[in-house]
């Protein structure tokens, strides 16, 4: 339970900062801090077990049929990353309290931060790859909110979009790779997948799965060629940058590579893809970082370089390289968070982070300068700090690694990257805190308040402690994590500051000397850099996106030209081609099932159906005639249902047919009664050919099915209708019990469709469309007797009877033909007839029904019925039956499905009336509005409101 709570606490806490900000900034920060602190305390409660090699599991079934369960796992690797996320998160929360300006919406910031924190915790603690993917995408969405926090900055919005695009696209690739991996392993649980190394690497799908998963990791961890999004995210507030670059977003890709190391590493494909990508990224990021004039830009590209370093180590595929990768993840998180917060202090106190405008800050900001020097020295890999230790381990592994048969390429490239790393770290310190003091700064510089320098100071203390005492301070944690990463295969090693005179020490010394001379000759080095080509990844990305958008628009406009016949022709032709290809590629034999003899009545009904269809075809240009013919076809179909012993379907068909005809009549009122232009001969030939081919295909398919014996689920439904669903009307029991979840989805779709119709028709009531509607002149003469008295009287007298029939149909539906859907249509028809007989104004004044509320109430009632089953300990929408003994009535059985059917009834009535009554309202407005009417001049009875349709 505690694992789930660790993940949920940040999400729960995200609800409070926006409220607590009303109590003040300190209260808001304290609340946020408290939730992260509790989560960290729960995590640390498992430290003893985890560091001893135990694995803590927690599991909750969600959709076991799909393999999607809420499974969580806490081992050394998950504990390590969760500790970084929560520990550095606490420091960021404190730092942000003093960094953010009074005008910044702090409540929103902390809410976004906690959402992001919860998503990251979900990634590192998930034991199900499908659940991990959900949290993976949540990090992209929540980081989008954080990076674009300063909405008034165009670069902030652009950086957020770029980050979301790149990481989101990589996430889509990773989804495919993870699904393939789960299919190979036969499980979507990580604990099961990590045991299937041989099966995964022997599978022919290993390489596609590997490439797709690595694309997701590389995009999230800003590896070449996806590195460009991370520096663009610098437009975010510094607390966000510090958190993203040290412990969270960019570490997600490293985490997943480390998590999958036991099953994916150890192959040539893994080595050449991962190690090469990491090596290139490490060198490229280090070179670019040296020439960045923005403090955060320099640190951003240094992050890219160090992420490449870890990726390269993981790519080597050796246990000792994995240990070095784990150790450097820890060290980088510590010194990089400190440096980003330090850069934020410089920007906050001086008003700029442009390096050429800075200098000499040691004199006026001694605390800030001291923290910067120690953290930057660690980033450069100088002894006796933690960065030196993991850099030595990296160089040792680089010296021991051959690439395409060469023993020196990796070592040389890694040493060159280390040279630039020393140079940009020294530049960060030398060009900002030493040299000439600048007097033209926007603000008078001074050290910040305690709340801003204490968080990075605590990290700097760790930098020193791990550097001086690596084994007692970090040894147990690194060992525990490394055992998980390597699957238990860890070589003997010893974390120490001194390992003697080794090749790695020599390369490190070369890097320090070269870096120092690079900084000394910086103007000349920069001139050489400036003279060379500089492909701008950001511009290339934007050009690619612009080209993709233009191409998509061209294709969309070419295909989607608004012609419905064209769309239908494409879809039908595609279906035909698929059917023909399947028919040609399969074997065929005649069915042996004997046919039933067709009697005279059946033939006559069939001829009526064919006649109705031919009438629609021949008189399609006369729309009223065509609509009447369509109604005849519907009635014939209902007769067929009666003949086939399906009275429920017959009642539904008749009801739907009436509603459809009324709806079409109202719509046709505003359309030409004749087709204005006939299709060309070529188009008619195309449509006719498709129609004939489709008809023959469907007919052949029906013939093939009817002449063969087959088994259906109908026998199961017939047997279980009473014992399982408590009703003798099998159709209704299927709708509200066996397939109740489908019906629940359908009524939601029906409600959405009605609301969409309402929104579209409501738009007709204003603007240019309204003026055109008001100026519309009916193209046919209207009856002088708008509301015949006999029709008015008949409908008003018949309304109570119709309502009683609707209630009767509803109540009997569980055992005999009827039910909520049919009853809803009958009641809707009875109500709409009032509009037709007495006019919109008369009906609207008397039927003050909120159709929007009716739809919502129906969905809510149906949902509560399903939740009631959950509360009782049964699956969603499971029904039950109560047998009651009532006075006078005797024994009465009541099914819980009746409440679900009530929801269906309400949605059907509300949706139907919302669509039909609003069409009536348009007709009313068109008749009675003057051409120059303004919305305020409209009769209140005609205003757009759901209460009157």
Tokens of 414: 């890694």
CA distances from 614 to 309, 610, 620 (A): 74, 6, 10
Residue 564 buriedness (CB in 10 A; 0-12 / 13-18 / 19+): exposed
pLDDT on residue 151: 82
Residues 515-524 have a mean pLDDT of 89
Residue 943's pLDDT band (boundaries 50, 70, 90)? very low
Please determine, for residue 944, whether its predicted confidence score (pLDDT) is greater than 70: no
Look at 647 and 419; give whichever has higher pLDDT. Answer: 419
Q: Sort strands 890-895 and 881-886 into parallel, antiparallel or unpaired.
A: antiparallel
Confidence category of residue 444, pLDDT binned at 50, 70, 90: confident
Q: Is 392 a residue whose pLDDT tops 80?
A: yes
- With residue 71 as reference, give the H or E element that holds it: strand 68-74
Number of helices and strands (H, E) in the chain? 40, 4
> pLDDT tens digits for 570-594?
899 999 999 888 888 877 788 888 8
Q: What is the pLDDT of residue 522?
A: 87
- In the prediction, which pLDDT does 928 show? 47
Q: In this predicted model, what pLDDT tens digit does every residue of 318-358 receive, in sequence order? A: 899 999 999 999 999 999 999 999 999 999 889 888 898 88
Q: What is the pLDDT of residue 10?
A: 93
Give how far the C-alpha of residue 787 lies from the chain's centroid of Cα atoms, to the nearest Å: 53
Quote the radius of gyration of the chain (alpha carbons, Å).
36
pLDDT at 767: 66
**Tally of CB atoms within 10 A around 285:** 29
The predicted structure's pLDDT at residue 496: 81
Could you tell me the residue ranges of all domains in the chain?
273-520, 597-675, 712-949
Residue 941 has pLDDT above 50, yes or no: no
Mean pLDDT, rounded, for 77-94: 94
The answer to whether residue 942 scores a pLDDT higher than 50 is: no
Is residue 644 over pLDDT 70?
Answer: yes
Q: Are 350 and 441 in contact (CB under 8 A)?
A: yes
Residue-level pLDDT at 339? 94
> Would you state the pLDDT for residue 58?
87
Contacts of 866 (CB under 8 A, 6+ apart): 740, 741, 744, 876, 877, 900
pLDDT tens across 893-913, in order?
A: 778 888 888 999 999 999 888
pLDDT value at position 184?
Answer: 92
Asked if 39 and 9 count as a contact pair (C-beta separation under 8 A), the reply is yes
DSSP for 20-48, please give it: HGGG-HHHHHHHHHHHHHHHHHHHHTTHH
Backbone angles phi, psi at 325, to 5 degrees: -65, -45
Q: Look up tokens 């790149």; give the residue.
A: 166
Of 775, 784, 746, the residue nearest 862 (C-alpha): 746
Write the Ramachandran bin of 614: left for phi over 0, alpha for psi from -120 to 50, otherwise beta: alpha
CA-wise closest residue to 348 among 443, 239, 241:
443
**945 band by pLDDT with thresholds 50, 70 and 90:** very low
Residue 115 has pLDDT above 70, yes or no: yes
Look at residue 303 in the predicted model and tell me its pLDDT.
Answer: 93
Q: Inform me whether the pLDDT recorded for 818 exceeds 80.
A: yes
Question: How confident is the model at residue 646, as a pLDDT?
Answer: 85
For the chain, percent of residues with pLDDT exceeding 70: 92
Tokens 């992209």 identify what position?
140
Q: Residue 930 pLDDT > 70, yes or no? A: no
* Stretch 530-549: mean pLDDT: 80
| Spatial distance between the Cα atoms of 419 and 887, rounded to a whole number of angstroms | 94
Tokens of 905: 């009834």
pLDDT value of position 673: 67
Residues 189-236: tens digit of each pLDDT: 898 999 989 999 999 999 999 999 999 999 999 898 888 888 888 888
Residue 859, token pair as written in the block: 């969905």
Instruction: Give dist(CA 885, CA 410) in Å, integer.
Output: 86
Quote the tokens at residue 559: 């295909």
For residue 644, give every residue at least 6 positions away whose Cβ sits within 8 Å of its Cβ, in sequence order, or none: none
CA dihedral 620, 626, 632, 634 (to 10 degrees): 80
Q: pLDDT at residue 491 above 90?
A: no
pLDDT tens per residue across span 685-710: 888 899 999 999 898 888 888 888 87
Q: Could you give the residue ranges of the DSSP H alpha helices within 782-884?
A: 789-812, 820-838, 840-846, 851-871
Average pLDDT over residues 825-829: 88
Measure the N-to-C terminal CA separation of the chain; round to a whole number of Å: 50
Contact predicate 9/34, CB 8 Å: no
pLDDT at 120 over 90: yes
Query: Looking at per-residue confidence, does 175 or 666 come out higher?
Result: 175
Does residue 440 register a pLDDT over 70?
A: yes
DSSP 8-state code for residue 775: T
pLDDT band at residue 181, thresholds of 50, 70 and 90?
very high
- Residue 6 to residue 86: CA distance in whole angstroms: 10
Give the number of other Cβ atoms within 10 Å of residue 740's Cβ. 25
Instruction: Name the average pLDDT for the chain.
Output: 85
What is the 8-class DSSP label of residue 895? E
């Amino acid at each position: 339970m505690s694992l789930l709570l660790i993940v949920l606490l940040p999400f729960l806490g995200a609800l409070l900062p926006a409220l607590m900000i009303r109590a003040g900034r300190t209260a808001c920060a304290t609340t946020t801090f408290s939730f992260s602190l509790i989560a960290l305390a729960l995590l640390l409660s498992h430290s003893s077990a985890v560091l001893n090699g135990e694995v803590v599991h927690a599991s909750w079934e969600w959709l076991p049929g799909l393999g999607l369960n809420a499974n969580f796992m806490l081992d050394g690797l998950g504990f390590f990353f969760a500790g970084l996320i929560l520990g550095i998160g606490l420091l960021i929360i404190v730092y942000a309290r003093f960094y953010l300006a009074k005008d910044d919406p702090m409540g929103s910031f902390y809410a976004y931060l906690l959402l992001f924190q919860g998503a990251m915790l979900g990634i590192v603690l998930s034991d199900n790859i499908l659940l991990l993917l959900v949290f993976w995408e949540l990090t992209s969405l929540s980081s989008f909110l954080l990076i674009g926090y300063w909405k008034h900055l165009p670069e902030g919005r652009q950086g957020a979009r770029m980050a979301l695009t790149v990481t989101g696209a990589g996430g889509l690739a990773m989804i495919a790779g993870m699904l393939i991996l789960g299919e190979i392993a036969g499980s979507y649980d990580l604990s099961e997948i990590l045991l299937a190394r041989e099966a995964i690497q022997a599978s022919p799908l290993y390489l596609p799965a590997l490439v797709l998963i690595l694309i997701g990791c590389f995009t999230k961890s800003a590896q070449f060629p996806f590195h460009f999004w991370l520096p663009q995210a610098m437009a975010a507030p510094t607390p966000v940058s510090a958190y993203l670059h040290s412990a969270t977003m960019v570490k997600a890709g490293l985490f997943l590579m480390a998590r999958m190391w036991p099953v994916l590493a150890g192959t040539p494909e893994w080595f050449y893809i991962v190690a090469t990508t990491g090596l290139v990224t490490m060198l490229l990021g280090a070179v670019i970082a040296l020439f960045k004039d923005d403090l955060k830009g320099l640190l951003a590209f240094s992050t890219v370089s160090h992420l490449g370093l870890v990726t390269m180590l993981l790519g080597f595929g050796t246990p000792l390289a994995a240990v070095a990768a784990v150790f450097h993840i820890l060290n980088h998180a510590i010194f990089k968070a400190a440096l980003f917060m330090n850069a934020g202090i410089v920007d906050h106190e001086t008003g700029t982070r442009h390096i050429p405008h800075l200098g000499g800050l040691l004199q006026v900001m001694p605390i800030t300068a001291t923290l910067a020097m120690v953290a930057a020295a660690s980033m450069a890999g100088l002894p006796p700090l933690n960065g030196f230790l993991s850099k030595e381990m990296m160089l040792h592994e680089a010296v021991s690694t051959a690439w395409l048969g060469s023993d020196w390429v990796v070592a040389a490239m890694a040493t060159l990257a280390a040279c630039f790393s020393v140079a940009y770290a020294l530049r960060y310190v030398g060009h900002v805190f030493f040299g000439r003091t600048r007097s033209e700064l926007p603000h008078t510089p001074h050290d910040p308040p305690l709340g801003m320098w204490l968080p990075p100071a605590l990290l700097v203390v760790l930098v020193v402690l791990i550097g001086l005492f690596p084994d007692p301070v970090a040894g147990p944690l690194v060992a525990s994590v490394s055992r998980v990463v390597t699957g238990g295969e860890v070589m003997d090693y010893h974390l120490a500051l001194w390992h003697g005179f080794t090749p790695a020490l020599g390369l490190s010394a070369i890097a320090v000397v070269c870096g120092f001379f690079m900084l000394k000759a910086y103007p000349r080095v920069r001139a050489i850099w400036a003279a060379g080509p500089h492909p701008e990844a950001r511009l290339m990305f934007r050009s690619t996106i612009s080209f993709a958008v233009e191409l998509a628009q061209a294709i969309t406009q070419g295909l989607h030209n608004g012609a419905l016949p064209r769309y239908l022709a494409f879809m039908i032709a595609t279906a035909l081609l698929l059917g023909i290809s399947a028919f040609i590629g399969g074997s065929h034999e005649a069915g042996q099932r004997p046919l039933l003899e067709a009697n005279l009545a059946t033939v006559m009904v069939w001829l009526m159906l064919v006649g109705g269809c031919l009438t629609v075809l021949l008189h399609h240009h006369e729309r009223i005639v065509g609509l009447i013919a369509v109604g005849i076809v519907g009635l014939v179909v209902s007769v067929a249902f009666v003949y086939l012993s399906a009275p429920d379907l017959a009642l539904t068909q008749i009801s739907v047919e009436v509603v459809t005809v009324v709806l079409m009549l109202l719509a046709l009122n505003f359309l030409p009664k004749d087709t204005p232009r006939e299709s060309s001969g070529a188009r008619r030939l195309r449509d006719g050919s498709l129609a004939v081919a489709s008809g023959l295909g469907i007919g052949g398919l029906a013939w093939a099915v009817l002449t063969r014996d087959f088994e259906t689920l109908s026998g199961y439904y017939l047997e279980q209708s009473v014992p399982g669903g408590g009703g003798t009307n099998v159709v209704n029991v299927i709708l509200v019990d066996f397939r109740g979840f489908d019906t629940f989805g359908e009524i939601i779709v029906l409600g959405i469709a009605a609301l969409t119709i309402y929104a579209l028709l409501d738009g007709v009531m204003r603007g240019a469309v309204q003026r055109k509607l008001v100026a519309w002149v009916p193209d046919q003469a209207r009856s002088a007797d708008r509301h015949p008295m006999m029709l008015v009287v008949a409908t008003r007298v018949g309304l109570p009877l119709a309502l009683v029939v609707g209630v009767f149909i509803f109540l009997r539906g569980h055992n005999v033909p009827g039910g909520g859907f049919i009853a809803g249509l009958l009641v809707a028809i009875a109500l709409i007839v009032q509009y037709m007989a007495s006019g919109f104004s008369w009906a609207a004044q008397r039927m003050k029904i909120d159709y929007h509320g009716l739809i919502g109430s129906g969905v809510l009632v149906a949902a509560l019925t399903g939740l009631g089953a959950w509360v009782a300990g049964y699956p969603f929408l499971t029904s039950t039956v109560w047998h009651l003994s009532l006075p006078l009535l005797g024994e009465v059985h009541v099914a819980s499905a009746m409440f679900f059917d009530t929801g269906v009834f309400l949605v059907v009535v509300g949706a139907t009336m919302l669509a039909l009554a609003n069409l009536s309202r348009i007709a009313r407005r068109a008749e009675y509005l003057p051409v120059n009417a303004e919305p305020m001049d409209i009769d209140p009875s005609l205003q757009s409101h759901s209460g009157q349709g």
